[in-house]
Structure 1
Amino acid sequence: MLPSTEPAPARKRIPEVDFELDEFEADKEVYLDFYRQVAVHEDMLVPLAEHHTASGAHSYYVLFDRTATYGHPGRPQIVAVHLQRDQEKRTFNFEQAVLPLPAMAQSWLIHRGCPPDAIGLNPELGPPPADEATRALERRLTGDGDHYAMGYSYTRDDPDDMVTVVALRALDERAPSPFRVVVEEVDTDAWTHTLREGGFATVDEALQWCDDRLTGTAGPLPPVRPAAAFSRPAALPKAPAPRPPGRSR
């Protein structure tokens, strides 16, 4: 969530994204994909975090798409972009993912080569964490996000109930809590946000809790058992990064 929803006296100038591709080309398919998936909304993308390698060969962006929910209720508002430039040929390629939480975008970029300490969020954009529990969970999602695949998310940007729910599936089938729900809630009066997670035995239970939260009937999140479930066994092969949501509302 960005300063566009922040109380007027606290608003700051919103920065613009610059992909620095004016002197670069790409084949037709790559160029059209980049335009359709990223650049078409370039003037509405706000860089929450970005990192560029010294050579200019790679750029990593965590972007907030201010158009995401226009006519598309529930759609994720965060875009992760990895640009790859060939400095000699003056060509570029890219990868992108649409994700519901900044920490998930940071994780996606880290697992594509971005240094973890180089993609911190701009503290002047969006509400800060309300407590240490939120900061701790964001660190875990950023560092260990590839332990889980995303199956569903819903983002509500109503100032009276600004919330994002995300259902995740553990890639380690032995995890005692194989399904997780992560919930971000924004307090628009205090201008802070909280992040919490719960553990579920089945996908139906996880999705039902998400539906209940969105209708205002959810009980407390059940605890994750055990808390160390985010730690992957050393022998387990590396898992793919979280995927965009596959369930529509």
Structure 2
Amino acid sequence: MLPPTEPVPNRKSTPRVDFEVDDFDSDEKRYLDFYRTVGVHEESLVPLATHNDGPNSYYVLFDRSATWGHPGMPQVLAVHLQRDHEKRMFSFEHAQLPLPAMAQSWLIHRGCPPDAIGLHPELGPPPADEATRALERRLVGDGDHYAMGYSYTSDDPDDMVIVVVLRAQDEQVPSPFRVVVEEVDTETWTHTLREGGFDTAGEALQWCDDRLTGKAGPLPPVRPAATPSRPAGVAKVPAPHPPSRSR
């Protein structure tokens, strides 16, 4: 998801992030790390999702300044902030990630309740279809099943696209390398997310390179997992029907 970078929306209506650590301290290395990673960019950070839970705060942030950095770098920042109110100390973890769904997953696996980190509905182009919504839900829920190997973010107005190569943690699954592609339609201001499956990292990376240079064909489908066969003579038991709900 790529919120608009230029022109910047009305700053009075654009949410601002407040890390609430002005009265907190930390060791020198962590404090400098926080300042260099987060604090120095605070004016450019747009909170796509936030959740505060006692000493813990979770943030999905869009970094508007990333477009001026190294070409292709991720523009989404996940931050998990921990505060010790008695000692007035703080610590934090962070990750630069290409997609908001991946940032949500990263935070969930660090203790954020899944239903508390939904994205702000008015920031960034909404999903164009149910296939996009379904894949985003799966990335949020199953993010720990894959490791990110490569990503490239292009915010060229003529071709706004993000490509991500993921490697399955289970090497035995079909299509162990996945390519996830987000494309933004600037006319309808919506985005689509699609997934393809590859047998090798080289094939996945080559497809990404071809997509970024306008030469890629369709994404190859993800091969389905094999269905275990039933032993001979064992009947299939019908699954029970869920109870009907009256509204």
Compute the TM-score of the two structures, normalised by the length of structure 1: 0.87
Conservation of the 8 A alpha-carbon contact between 1:3 and 1:12: no
Structure 1 residues 166 and 12 mapped into 2: Cα distance closer, same or farther (>3 Å)?
farther
The equivalent residue for 1:49 is: 49
**Pairing partner for 1:112 from 103, 110, 121:** 110
| Structure 1: runs of 5 or more not aligned | 230-249
The equivalent residue for 2:214 is: 216
How far the C-alpha of 1:69 sits from its partner, in A, is: 2.3
Conservation of the 8 A alpha-carbon contact between 2:173 and 2:225: no
Secondary structure at the residue paired with 1:157? strand
Percent identical among aligned pairs is 77
Conservation of the 8 A alpha-carbon contact between 1:6 and 1:191: no
**Pairing partner for 1:207 from 201, 205, 208:** 205
Instruction: After superposition, give the CA deviation of every residue in 1:101-143 in whole Å (9 maximum; x if it has no partner).
Output: 0000000000000000000000010000000000000000000
The equivalent residue for 1:175 is: 173
Conservation of the 8 A alpha-carbon contact between 1:3 and 1:11: no
Amino acid paired to 1:136: A
Structure 1 residues 7 and 83 mapped into 2: Cα distance closer, same or farther (>3 Å)?
closer
Structure 1 residues 168 and 123 mapped into 2: Cα distance closer, same or farther (>3 Å)?
same
How far the C-alpha of 1:96 sits from its partner, in A, is: 0.1
Instruction: After superposition, give the CA deviation of every residue in 1:13-57 in whole Å (9 maximum; x if it has no partner).
Output: 22111001111111111100101111110100100000000x2x0
* Separation (CA, whole Å) in 2 of partners of 1:128 and 1:51: 21
* Structure with greater contact order relative to length (CA < 8 Å, sep ≥ 6): 1
Instruction: After superposition, give the CA deviation of every residue in 1:189-244 in whole Å (9 maximum; x if it has no partner).
Output: 10000000000000000000000000000000000111799xxxxxxxxxxxxxxx
Secondary structure at the residue paired with 2:67? coil
**Residue 97 (structure 2) pairs with residue 83 (structure 1):** no
Conservation of the 8 A alpha-carbon contact between 1:61 and 1:80: yes
* Separation (CA, whole Å) in 1 of partners of 2:141 and 2:86: 33
* Separation (CA, whole Å) in 2 of partners of 1:117 and 1:135: 15
Conservation of the 8 A alpha-carbon contact between 2:174 and 2:225: no
Moved over 4 A (4+): 5-8
* Separation (CA, whole Å) in 2 of partners of 1:108 and 1:78: 12
Conservation of the 8 A alpha-carbon contact between 1:4 and 1:11: no
| Structure 2: runs of 5 or more not aligned | 228-247
Structure 1 residues 85 and 7 mapped into 2: Cα distance closer, same or farther (>3 Å)?
closer
* Separation (CA, whole Å) in 1 of partners of 2:7 and 2:145: 33
How far the C-alpha of 1:71 sits from its partner, in A, is: 3.9
Secondary structure at the residue paired with 1:183? strand
Amino acid paired to 1:14: T
Structure 1 residues 115 and 71 mapped into 2: Cα distance closer, same or farther (>3 Å)?
closer
